[in-house]
Amino acid sequence: MDSVLAFVIGVVIIVIGLAVSIGLHEIGHLVPAKLFGVKVTQYMIGFGPTIWSRRRGETEYGVKAIPLGGYIAMIGMFPPAKGQQVHEDSTGFFRSLVQDARDSSMESITPGDEDRAFYRLPVWKRIVVMFGGPFMNLVLAVALFAVILMGFGVTQPSTTVGSVSACALPATSERQTCEPGDPAAPGAAAGIEPGDRIVSVDGQPVTSWNESTTIIRDHPDEPIELVVVRDGEQVTLEVTPMLSERYATDENGQVVTDASGDPVTVQAGFVGISPASETVQQPVTAVLPAVGEQITGVAGIIVNLPQRMVDVWNAAFGTEERDPNGPISVVGVGRLSGEIASLDEIPLASKAAGLIGILASLNIALFVFNLIPLLPLDGGHIAGALWEAIRRGFARVFRRPDPGPVDLAKLMPLTFGVVIVLGAMSALLIYADIVKPVTLL
């Protein structure tokens, strides 16, 4: 029962965190819009029936039943057609798709508000308004990653020996246990014990596990001196690494893969020891690089999204396994959050760090995804504003008449197509997360 309750709590935390992230995204649109004088009639978190709302001034603030999105409604998102008045539309994911809102919303525009339409803003102000939402997600992600890296810290290999293998098995061996006839591991034969902290290898001081591993791998069949600290005292041991098939690693200790994604193997020195892990708080300088890596990773997923969705289809309707690094839906995110919260094997601090990490990654995903230059996403409006600036710039340079604002409403057919594709992908991901989910258990 306790694990079920913890699972539910984990899901609730992520749902609340997602709602807050969406709310801050819309605040990123709301604040600059109001500062620039645009009339904002609604600020809503969620979709569906309104649960609660309150009007303050000219804006209605509220919460709707389904916390999976949000929107602010600004008058004049699109320039009116010739001979028509200004209409109302929204930055929200779904409401901006409804083309007939152009007609119905005109009735809610009171005389005198024409100059407060969004499309009348200078290009740079429109970009600020539309970029404000994704930027808030980026700021929130940076703050969350700062909490994780600087507050909780990062689990990484220490220079302390965590385990000593009794035998030496090739890296590609399917067995994980020793059997009679397997060669003895040099580390155990040399007297290395779990808990030993490595100080130097072959006369070279080491400050990381990767440094010690590099030296060992470079000295197969050569006796080397290993100095460790055991029970507060330095102990000098002699070990002869044996030549063995190992996975190739880069300078950061990460396994190298070939063009097909399979790990590369090499013949290298092997002792048979593994590190103990330790949690190390990171400096502030580690935050932005971590955020940059996340942005690059999400962008890579989006660039390869067609193939990724094919893989999800094959997994959902076939026998293939889900890619743990592939796209998942909010259902999958909720499931992973619940699993993290219900794990008994990890301490509370690690559970909190895991949930915060999920929220940080979600905000990175919201930041990158919303900048795709397609309507109804924010990136589509930004691209339209930039195209307008280019057209007007060329007109000024060649002394041609001002072409006026770009009417993005003409792209509604494309927008509906984008929505259909996004809806289909969402449905597939949700189905896959139900029948063959990415799981930690």
Distance CA 36, CA 125 (A): 7
SS3 for the chain is CHHHHHHHHHHHHHHHHHHHHHHHHHHHHHHHHHHCCCCEEEEEEEEEEEEEEEEECCEEEEEEEEEEEEEEEEECCCCCCCCCCCCEEECCCCHHHCCCHHHHHHCCCCCCCHHHCHHHCCHHHHHHHHHHHHHHHHHHHHHHHHHHHHHHCEEEEEEEEEEECCECCCCCCCCCCCCCCCCECHHHHHCCCCCCEEEEECCEECCCHHHHHHHHHCCCCCCEEEEEEECCEEEEEEECCEEEEEECECCCCCECECCCCCECEEEEEECCEEEEEEEECCCHHHHHHHHHHHHHHHHHHHHCHHHHHHHHHHHHHCCCCCCCCCCCCHHHHHHHHHHHHHCCCCCHHHHHHHHHHHHHHHHHHHHHHHCCCCCCCHHHHHHHHHHHHHHHHHHHHCCCCCCCCCCHHHHHHHHHHHHHHHHHHHHHHHHHHHHCCCCCC
Query: Catalytic: 26?
Result: yes
All residues at 6 or more sequence positions from 188 whose CB lies less than 8 Å from its CB, including other chains: 164, 165, 166, 272
* Backbone dihedral angles phi then psi of residue 252, each to the nearest 5 degrees: -95, 5
Q: Which residues are catalytic?
A: 26
